[in-house]
Amino acid sequence: MSLQTITGKRVGDTYYKLEHPSGLTVFIYPKENSNSTYAVFGTKYGSVDNQFRRSDEDTVHTVPEGIAHFLEHKLFESEDGDAFARYSKTGASANAYTSFDMTCYLFSSTENVEASLEILLDFVQSPYFTEQTVQKEQGIIGQEIRMYDDDPQWRVMFNLLGALYHTHPVKIDIAGTVESISHITPELLYQCYHTFYDLHNMALCVAGNIDKETVLRLVDRYCKPAEPFAVDRVFEEEPRSIVKNKVTQALSVATPLFQFGFKEEAGKNRKTVKELAAVELLLEILASEGSPLFRELQQSNLINESSFSYEFFEGPGYASVIFAGESKNPDKVAQSIVKEVNRLRNEGIPKEDFERAKKAIYGRNVAALNSPETIANCIIALSFSNRELFEYIDALAEITLEEVTASLQTHMLEKYAALSVVEPIIPMEESKQ
Amino acid sequence: MSEINQRVVCNGVDFQSIQNTNFKTMRISVHFMLPIDKNHISANAVLPALLCRASKQYPDYTKLSQRLSELYGASLNAEVQKLGDTQLLSISTVGLADQFTLNGESVSKELAELLCSIIFDPPFENGAFREEDFNQEVRQTIELIDSEFNDKRIYAKHRCEEIMCDKEPYGIPRFGSKEAVRALKPNDLKEAWSYLIAHARIRIMALGNCNPDLVFQGFQTAFEKVDRSQVVTCSSDIITDVKEIKDVSEPMEVAQSKLVMGFRTQIAAPQKEITAAKLMTAMFGGTPHSKLFLNVREKMSLCYYCAARYNSSKGIMTVESGVETQNIEAAKNEILKQLEEMKQGHFTEEELQSAKLSVCNSYRTIGDYLGSTESWYISQIFMPDMQTPEQAAKEISKVTREEIISAAQKVTLDTIYRLVGTEEE
């Protein structure tokens, strides 16, 4: 068991990585001047992992939509009380989240860090599900789902994913539906738990005011060697094409919202840090607040500063470039974006725009290292996609105009674009403001 | 955490700084405070964003944005909030510390200068804000007001506070009404700007990895040209008695209903009892081991969230929850029942200790984040003595059971607001 030291020369920080004999990957990022310590214990298991086959079995299992998220809620309960009650003795602020491709349990704490870390390592490894507790949670999560049903940002995103993807489970709501979660049973929860909460499929990252010896001692105590087995995530074939190029839903909103997305080539492997850096830079050049596109959209009163955004959204088997915001005329925004992409492709990216974007993105990524929370969440997400934090920052600092130009040729192709709009139920002028 | 340093720039303008080279960034901000006034709230509210649009040197939004990008993705932000019956207008800039730039540029010096320049020397044309900038900001403010309607949790809370405080300045929305924003003229903004610079109570802050002396000197020079002889006083109405409970239901086509209950706490800054009120709120509904979480959510399975929040500037507490329409009354009754438990002192020593640990933990985390540090000190601007988060944590630890009960007993229901979903399940 050897401890790997990882240093970011540009940022002057160091952290440690260890492949623990139990199978768990451990990251420790000490920040001795920090008051708090932030720990995240996660598994590479999210809402898209709906169909799977274990290497020690032949059957492909299909489980209800939303079960990874349901499991996240239920894991807080053990036979002898719930994890929040245990954390209440240490003062730690604890939480958890489930995304498309991972589930993470976390806490932030300034005192009793060691005791909090023990609780984290223990409860995540102690499943306890009964008919009664599952039923209780169906009410709570049912209300979480209903809350998201009213959330226009959430709806406009999933409507877009539904327009882009034919079969890929990324289009399914992370929490599932009130109907789908009604099929969840303790047995199904145990089955998913024992498949995906194997330490070989998990990672721990602790950032902040803590030393590596403390973390390693606790990992030794709480993490026992697990049987290594592989999980095959089964995805149906996803065509390259999109499903439809426009989708609209009416909700109680005062102003229309949109997401305009380009479905990108996803492939079997996750994108490398270089590929990611190239797309991130490309988007900054294309659509940041100083760009010609932003200027045109703003001057035409089509977007506003507080809501317009863009991202490269990618995970296992899916990748898209997504623009989002509020607009009185989303169709026009989409047209302008396509036009500007084509113009850039024809005319080339000006060197000064490239240099400026590079500095901006580099600066923002270094700035993010202030926060133990950001650090821990980034490292764990990067580790599940075989990437490393400082390599990513180096890739941003070293990227060339040629690489970004090459990325522009293969991304944001018009034939793979779809527009999702959430519009007001009643015409805007009549609505109650 | 490094020491906080306080100086006076001029009458009604103070300067606080915490230099801390452990951060990779610095944050410089200017906060203007004025009493909320229905006739001026909208012009004031549009002003910070308008000032952030351009400077003399970078005279349009694109050029200024490009310059911020060159400065390693620095940001310039405008914010409008209410601090009790006071309108709080903030302009802040965040940037990378000089030591991390790729070519040895000084980001902090330039950002400090930029901040002074946009505030004191806007790019006026013919003595007024340029029409194009003005029109953009008015449109975007109206869209921002609309977007607050889109988030039903925020919308319901605002509605409850508006109804509850309809006779107090706090009841006015932070941007004023849409109609008032729409009716603004460029000259209103010019007048608001002149008034703000001369008469607002002002706090300047420089936090993190930068040299605060340079920032201080820049502002000192800038304020030399301003007549600061008359500065406003800000105070809040603290309502202590409720004559009649307001009960309002509004239907809307949404899946989930929202219940927001507004309470008067009779305790507000600068009273020292706010410490007990904060802790009482945490025990009642501020943590995952609070009475509301354990009962309304975990035991009765009625909701995903049910949380209490205390506003110490205004002396009010709100409880928010999202529930099925047929469960609104059950949730409301349970919330009131749990409040009664607090008033009767039906809580264990463990509950008290847990709440203390939890609040202390959140206070001690503040120093790790420049934005949280800024909010912490701004929220105390009208307190006679400033407390560091550590001092406040020590005060929290000393609160007794009796003080909690006494704070709870002062809590009186004022307003029940229901946003009733009319969509079929």
B59 touches chain A (CB under 8 A): no
Residues of B in contact with A288 (CB under 8 A): 65, 69
Round to whole Å and give the CA distance between B37 and B44.
10
* B293 within a domain of the structure (yes/no): yes
* B240 within a domain of the structure (yes/no): no
Q: Residues 6 or more apart from A399 whose CB is under 8 A from it? A: A274, A277, A278, A281, A358
Residues of A in contact with B353 (CB under 8 A): 89
Are A74 and A129 contacting, i.e. CB atoms less than 8 angstroms apart?
A: yes
B90 & B23 share domain = yes
Residues of A in contact with B144 (CB under 8 A): 304, 306
B211 & B262 share domain = no
* Structural tokens at position B165: 């405080």
CATH dotted code for A3-233: 3.30.830.10
Any idea what DSSP says for residue A191?
Answer: H
Q: Do A356 and B71 touch (CB under 8 A)?
A: no
Phi, then psi, of B190 in degrees rounded to 5: -65, -45
Rounded mean pLDDT, B88-113:
94
A370 touches chain B (CB under 8 A): yes
Interface test with A, best of B66, B69, B139 (most A CBs within 10 A): B69
CATH dotted code for A246-430: 3.30.830.10
Cα-based distances in Å from B35 to B44, B83, B160, B179: 11, 10, 21, 21
Q: What is the pLDDT of residues B131-165, one digit of tens each?
A: 999 999 999 999 999 999 999 999 999 999 999 99
Q: What is the pLDDT of residues A248-261, one digit of tens each?
A: 999 999 999 999 99
If you write DSSP's letter for every residue of A90-127 in order, what string do you get? TT-EEEEEE-SS-EEEEEEESS-HHHHHHHHHHHTT--
Domain boundaries defined on chain A: 3-233, 246-430
For residue A301, the distance in angstroms to the closest alpha carbon of chain B comes to: 8
* B59 within a domain of the structure (yes/no): yes
Q: Tell me the CB-side half-sphere exposure of residue B104, using CA atoms within 13 A.
A: 0
Q: Is the pLDDT of residue A431 over 50?
A: no
Q: Residues 6 or more apart from B282 whose CB is under 8 A from it? A: B290, B355, B358, B359
* B235 within a domain of the structure (yes/no): no
CB pairs under 8 A between A and B: 208
User: Annotated catalytic residue: which of A72, A284, A326, A423?
Assistant: A72
Tokens 């809402």 belong to which residue? A47
Round to whole Å and give the CA distance between B289 and B280.
13
Residues of B in contact with A70 (CB under 8 A): none
Whole-number mean pLDDT of chain B? 96
Q: How confident is the model at residue A80 (pLDDT cuts 50, 70, 90)?
A: confident
* B229 within a domain of the structure (yes/no): no
Q: Do B62 and A295 touch (CB under 8 A)?
A: yes
Q: Is the pLDDT of residue A432 over 50?
A: no
Q: What is the pLDDT of residues A178-236, one digit of tens each?
A: 999 999 999 999 999 999 999 999 999 999 999 999 999 999 999 999 888 889 999 99
What is residue A226's predicted lDDT score, i.e. its pLDDT? Answer: 83
Q: Do B361 and A92 touch (CB under 8 A)?
A: yes
Any idea what DSSP says for residue A320?
Answer: E
B207 & B250 share domain = no
Active site residue A72: yes
B274 & B315 share domain = yes
Q: Do B61 and A252 touch (CB under 8 A)?
A: no
B133 & B53 share domain = yes
* B335 within a domain of the structure (yes/no): yes
Q: Which domain holds residue B274?
A: 246-421
Strands B257-264 and B316-323: antiparallel
Are A254 and A326 contacting, i.e. CB atoms less than 8 angstroms apart?
A: no
Least confident of A429-433, B21-25, B136-140, B420-424: A429-433
Q: Is the pLDDT of residue B341 over 50?
A: yes
A84 touches chain B (CB under 8 A): yes
- Among residues of chain A, what percentage have pLDDT more than 70? 98
For residue B324, the distance in angstroms to the closest alpha carbon of chain A comes to: 8
Q: How confident is the model at residue A427 (pLDDT cuts 50, 70, 90)?
A: low
Any idea what DSSP says for residue B382?
Answer: T
Among candidate residues A314, A333, A329, A315, the one with its CA nearest the CA of residue A260: A333
Q: Which residue has the higher pLDDT, B2 or B383?
A: B383
Specify the length of chain B in residues: 425
Numbers of helices and strands, H then E, in chain B = 15, 11
For residue B226, the distance in angstroms to the closest alpha carbon of chain A comes to: 31
A110 touches chain B (CB under 8 A): yes
B140 & B191 share domain = yes
Rounded mean pLDDT, A40-62:
94
pTM of the model: 0.95
Q: Residues 6 or more apart from B183 whose CB is under 8 A from it? A: none
**First vs last C-alpha separation in chain A:** 62
Q: Residues 6 or more apart from B45 whose CB is under 8 A from it? A: B80, B87, B89, B141, B174, B175, B176, B181
* Structural tokens at position A228: 């290594």
Q: What is the pLDDT of residues B355-408, one digit of tens each?
A: 999 999 999 999 999 999 999 999 998 888 899 999 999 999 999 999 999 999
Round to whole Å and give the CA distance between B69 and A243.
37
Q: What is the pLDDT of residues A394-409, one digit of tens each?
A: 999 999 999 999 999 9
Strands A51-54 and A61-62: antiparallel
Among candidate residues A190, A183, A175, the one with its CA nearest the CA of residue A98: A175
End residue of a domain, out of B157, B189, B224: B224
Q: Do A294 and B354 touch (CB under 8 A)?
A: no
Query: CATH code at B219?
Result: 3.30.830.10
* B158 within a domain of the structure (yes/no): yes
What is residue B425's predicted lDDT score, i.e. its pLDDT? Answer: 56
Q: Do A254 and B149 touch (CB under 8 A)?
A: yes
Q: Do A147 and B149 touch (CB under 8 A)?
A: no
What is residue B227's predicted lDDT score, i.e. its pLDDT? Answer: 97
Among candidate residues A194, A203, A196, the one with its CA nearest the CA of residue A22: A203
Chain B, residues 121-150, CB within 8 A of chain A, namely 136, 139-140, 143-147, 149-150
Rounded mean pLDDT, B236-246:
93
Specify the length of chain A in residues: 433
* B172 within a domain of the structure (yes/no): yes
Rounded mean pLDDT, B212-234:
96
If you write DSSP's letter for every residue of B6-51 in order, what string do you get? EEEEETTEEEEEEE-TTSSEEEEEEEEEEE--TTTHHHHHHHHHHH
Q: How confident is the model at residue A55 (pLDDT cuts 50, 70, 90)?
A: confident
Q: Do A34 and B22 touch (CB under 8 A)?
A: yes
Round to whole Å and give the CA distance between B107 and B100.
10
B252 & B351 share domain = yes
Quick one: which H or E segment has residue A6?
strand A3-8
Q: What is the pLDDT of residues A137-193, one digit of tens each?
A: 999 999 999 999 999 999 999 999 999 999 999 999 999 999 999 999 999 999 999
Round to whole Å and give the CA distance between A36 and B334.
35
Q: Do B66 and A290 touch (CB under 8 A)?
A: yes
Q: Is the pLDDT of residue A1 over 80?
A: no
Choose the closest CB to A91 out of B144, B302, B360: B360
Name the 3-class secondary structure at A43. Answer: strand
What is residue B424's predicted lDDT score, i.e. its pLDDT? Answer: 65
Q: What is the pLDDT of residues A320-340, one digit of tens each?
A: 999 999 999 999 999 999 999
B158 & B271 share domain = no
Q: Residues 6 or more apart from A266 whose CB is under 8 A from it? A: A238, A314, A317, A318, A319
A7 touches chain B (CB under 8 A): no
Q: What is the pLDDT of residues B33-78, one digit of tens each?
A: 999 999 999 999 999 999 999 999 999 999 999 999 999 999 999 9
End residue of a domain, out of B190, B224, B258: B224
Q: In what order do the strands lie in the sheet with B412-421?
A: B246-252, B412-421, B257-264, B316-323, B306-311
Number of structural domains (chain B) is 2
